[in-house]
Structure 1
């Protein structure tokens, strides 16, 4: 393997690790402030980040495998990680749908959504940078798997936009159901991500974009 190719694979692996550790940090911060401020959208966003960690581990393993044998099919570790990820997203979506409906019925409103605005703005910038780098490396390697991962990272960016809109909307208007609406949007994308994970585990291409 020449030096240029090795460098690209190292970059791809580094991007996967950055995604993993960023999602761990984002998940802790979002879940904590979401719980403290009683913001369901922010709390759900944090739980979504934790599920993304498992997916990121599968991608990191995939990059390592592709360095040795690019044509090899996904192995048991990758398929297992993807199925766990898919199941996690489905459970998260179900929980958010039930809780959002309950909160909307009760007229519950969060204490504040300030931290939802802060977290979402940081996440939008971070995800955008990760997408650019993943697309660059994926095209250089001619790797459809890495490009598919970049497309799936767009889902994280969309989730951040939903969180920003719902958090800023509540912060500016005080309309309580906007937080529940944001949680429902995150639940919808969680269902989509769950399906994509199971599709990839079955060897189907990702169509997150």
Structure 2
């Protein structure tokens, strides 16, 4: 009876790790699609918040690749520390977030000083609503798998996805605000909010690369 129970537990664990890997793949491909759509419409509509949101999605793709690799490593050898691939992915992610944060800060300041306003933020509203729904579903499933496996790393990934949801909320608020009022600096304010979270995510990525646990709070 004990043997069958162990086999059943092993099978269930393998299934959970497969689910975690699938969730990581979904996150990667979703961020690629979201990045293309957001950057394109952000550039076309001259919306800095939407454009910055799209660039953030591309950085999240690199982070997602590291998460996928981490899930596979944990499945094969749960006790092994992060390897060179994960650390390199985290450093690239951290540097990219820092560059993006600085770029958004400088551009937002320039747009505000020159009273720049986007053509429209309609697509910012659409993209942010889709992203909020998608991120909420991903968070729910990642938390479920993380608790089932007792994996702090997968739960931390779910917390990082929660940050993506907060970014979507910032984009939604700034986009709706501009659509209703026509006040141009609201788009820049949204870009600054996204830049602030990019800075925090960059710091946490470097901390993870050094082996410091992060909560992505």
In which range does the TM-score fall when normalised by the shorter chain? Answer: over 0.9
Task: Show the counterpart of 1:101.
Answer: 109
From 113, 126, 129, the counterpart of 1:118: 126
Counterpart in the other structure of 1:85: 93
1:88-110 per-position Cα deviation (integer Å, ceiling 9, x unaligned): 00000000000000000000000
Please tell me whether residue 31 in structure 1 is matched to residue 36 in structure 2: no
Q: Which residue of 2 aligns with 1:194?
A: 202
Deviations 1:132-189 (A, max 9, x none): 0000000000000000000111110000000000000000000000000000000000
Task: Give the C-alpha shift of residue 60 in structure 1.
Answer: 0.0
Please give the alpha-carbon distance, in whole angstroms, between the structure 1 residues aligned to 2:137 and 2:100: 26
Matched residues, number = 209
The 8 Å contact of residues 103 and 180 in structure 1, kept in 2 or not, is answered as: yes
Tell me which residue corresponds to 1:157: 165
Runs in 1 of length 4+ with deviation above 3 angstroms? none
* Partner SS, residue 116 of structure 2: coil
> Structure 1 stretches of 5 or more lacking a match?
none
**Which residue is equivalent to 1:129?**
137
When Rg is computed on C-alpha atoms for both structures, the one with the higher figure is 2
Deviation of residue 205 (structure 1)? 1.1
Q: Secondary structure at the match of 1:38?
A: coil
User: Partner of 1:62: helix, strand, or coil?
Assistant: helix
User: Is there any run of 5+ residues in structure 2 with no aligned partner, and where?
Assistant: 1-6
RMSD across aligned positions (CA): 0.6
C-alpha distance after superposition, 1:40-83 (max 9, x if no partner) = 00000000000000000000000001111101000000000000
CA contact (8 A) 1:166 1:179 kept: yes
How far is 1:208 from its partner?
1.2
- Residue 3 (structure 1) shift: 1.0
Distance in 2, matches of 1:10 and 1:207, equals 23
Match of 2:152 in 1: 144
Give the distance between the partners of 2:196 and 2:215, measured in 1 at CA.
Answer: 15
TM-score, with normalisation over the residues of structure 1?
0.99
The answer to whether the Cα contact below 8 Å between 1:83 and 1:197 also exists between their aligned partners in 2 is yes
CA contact (8 A) 1:152 1:206 kept: no
Partner of 2:4: none
TM-score (norm 2): 0.95
